[in-house]
Amino acid sequence: MQVTALPEGLQRFTLADLPRERWRNGAGWTRTVASAQARDGQADWRVSLAEISEGAPFSQFPGMDRTAVLAAGGPVRLRGAERDWNLAVPGDMARFAGELSLENAPPESEARIWNVMVRRGQVHAEVQVFAGQDVPLPGDGHALVWVLQGSFRVVSPAGDELFCLEADEGLHRRPAPCGLVLLPASSDARLVRTQLR
């Protein structure tokens, strides 16, 4: 029998659950997944899904470190004065400083980017892509996952299957005892996991 109640501190979400808002520079749209603010009102960290449908400059966030992972569509080419990144397939990743001046070329098809920003020196983000592997969800810090392709079974420490997580669905685990594991349920299963400490 399947367990339907979510463990404490765990939130399941879909793309439709996340309201759209304009980019900081007005050149695109984004959906905030989760964020945390410091006492001075500035963001300590923020995870969002950015929508890219045309060429545009990226918003600059001085003092932040950024990671961009292609979640769907594309390809997305990020162009800077000293370096370019070509995000061609879901899971391709770019890491760069938030003050860097970048623009994206028009993608062949509308793209979504898993966008992670953390305040430099204050928060550490570990962003990893898993394909066809078991993915643990540790209990320290915040952990967020987003399924890029296929599906994963979410299993409790006791071995009970809680639910199945499909493409374009995610989880946010706030700091709490956890021990959950996500097991690939399809041959193309791929997700991005972000841990914030």
- pLDDT tens column, 104-117: 999 999 999 999 99
129 and 84 housed in the same domain: no
CB 4 within 8 A of CB 162: yes
Q: What is the pLDDT of residues 93-102, one digit of tens each?
A: 999 999 999 9
20 and 115 housed in the same domain: yes
* pLDDT at residue number 177: 76
Q: Which residue has the tokens 């006492």?
A: 39
70 and 104 housed in the same domain: yes
40 and 99 housed in the same domain: yes
59 and 36 housed in the same domain: yes
149 and 62 housed in the same domain: no
Residues of the chain by 3-state class (helix, strand, coil), percent to 5: 0, 60, 40
CATH code at position 36: 2.60.120.10
Determine the structural domain holding residue 134 and report its residue range.
Answer: 125-196
104 and 181 housed in the same domain: no
Higher-pLDDT residue of 86, 176 = 86
- The answer to the question of residue 4 being in a domain is no
Q: What is the pLDDT of residues 52-71, one digit of tens each?
A: 999 998 889 999 999 999 99
* pLDDT at residue number 72: 97
Alpha helices in the chain (DSSP H): none
* pLDDT at residue number 176: 78
Percent of the chain with pLDDT over 90: 80
Burial of 121 by CB count in 10 Å (0-12 exposed, 13-18 middle, 19+ buried)? Answer: exposed
How many structural domains comprise the chain?
A: 2
From 3-12, 25-34, 86-95, 142-151, the region with the lowest mean pLDDT: 3-12
- The answer to the question of residue 78 being in a domain is yes
85 and 140 housed in the same domain: no
183 and 115 housed in the same domain: no
User: Is a pLDDT exceeding 50 seen at residue 1?
Assistant: no
* pLDDT at residue number 3: 44
The model's confidence at residue 39, banded by pLDDT at 50, 70 and 90, is: confident
Residue 182 has φ and ψ, to the nearest 5°, of -105, 120
Q: Which of 68, 87, 119 delimits the end of a domain?
A: 119
23 and 113 housed in the same domain: yes
114 and 130 housed in the same domain: no
